[in-house]
């Protein structure tokens, strides 16, 4: 691999954006600068012999490999945060907070919330045939654009375009839900 020939500015920008979205999805507060730290760490580990090396036979795409490292780093971060929380449970206010969250997480309405979110999304894409079909494929676990293109007998560019539309609708639904949630309980927890 000739590392010098790669467009590292592009790789880094994509990875930063990816890390930012991943943090958001996991409900972890953080700025773009935090995402940049994560992206930098993922790249650094690529060259650090203390970590498992990139195996192109397993994941031929470098960016996907880096994305997976970002996912791992985020999991570590969440685990560390949980440990910290457990250690501080002797503080009554923290204990109370944790209990409230545990109750909220186990709430039976949660599944209804998920269904409601997806129904909002479906309503938004009802006239977008490709996006609707993609939704079905995603549910079936067909998540790769190339496979989706093959199944729908469409050009991969058309699939990418539909996935971008779908991503925008998802963000709109999330904003809508966060707005509703804020209005309802003043917390803005949303559906994470």
Partner 1 sequence: MKLRKAPIDNLTLQRLEQSLDEDLLTEAYSLEEIADQLRALGGNPEAIGERGKALMSGLLGNADPHAHSGQLSASPFGGVPVSEQRQEVFFDSGASDVGHLAFRAFGKTYGSEHEAVIDFLEAITPAEVAASEAIREWLRTCQIDCVKGGLRMVAEREAYHGRAFTERLIELGRTVPASVRPEIRESIDYLRDTSLSDLEKLQRASGRYPNPEDAMQPLFEFISLLKEDQQTKEMLRLFAADELSTLRWQNTLCAVLTEMKRNGQIVAE
Interface ranges with partner 1 (CB under 8 A): 3-4, 8-18, 20-22, 25, 32-33, 36-37, 39-41, 43-45, 47-48, 50-51, 61, 63-64, 66-67, 76, 80, 114-115, 117-119, 121-122, 132-133, 135-139, 143, 145, 151-153, 160, 163-164, 166-167, 170-171, 173-174, 191-192
Measured from the CB atom, is 99 or 129 closer to partner 1? Answer: 129
Find the shortest distance in angstroms from Cβ 8 to partner 1: 4
- Tell me whether residue 92 or residue 153 sits nearer to partner 1 (CB atom): 153
**Minimal distance in Å, beta carbon 187 to partner 1?**
18
Which tokens belong to 105?
A: 């997480």
CA separation for the pair 65, 52 (Å, rounded): 11
Q: Could you give the CA distance from residue 22 to residue 180 in angstroms, rounded to a whole number?
A: 22
CB of 94 to partner 1, least distance (A): 18
Distances (CA, A) of 29 to 20, 74, 117, 189: 10, 12, 22, 12
Give me the least distance between CB of 14 and partner 1, in Å please: 5
3 touches 30 (CB < 8 A): no
* Interatomic CA distance for residues 70 and 68, integer angstroms: 5
Cα 64–chain centre separation: 14
């Amino acid at each position: 691999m000739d590392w010098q020939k790669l467009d590292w500015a592009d790789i880094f920008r994509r990875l930063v954006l990816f890390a930012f979205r991943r943090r958001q999805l996991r409900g972890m507060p953080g700025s773009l600068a935090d995402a940049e730290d994560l992206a930098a760490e993922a790249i650094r580990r690529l060259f650090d012999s203390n970590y498992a090396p990139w195996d192109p036979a397993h994941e031929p795409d470098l960016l996907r490999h880096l994305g997976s490292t970002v996912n791992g780093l985020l999991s570590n971060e969440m685990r560390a945060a949980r440990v910290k929380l457990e250690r501080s449970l002797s503080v009554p206010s923290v204990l109370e907070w944790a209990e409230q969250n545990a109750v909220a997480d186990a709430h039976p309405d949660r599944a209804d919330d998920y269904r409601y979110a997806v129904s909002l999304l479906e309503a938004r894409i009802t006239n977008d045939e490709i996006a609707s079909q993609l939704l079905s494929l995603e549910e079936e676990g067909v998540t790769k654009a190339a496979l989706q293109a093959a199944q729908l007998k469409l050009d991969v560019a058309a699939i990418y375009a539909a996935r971008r539309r779908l991503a925008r609708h998802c963000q709109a639904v999330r904003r809508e839900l966060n707005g509703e949630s804020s209005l309802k309980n003043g917390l803005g927890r949303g559906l994470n």
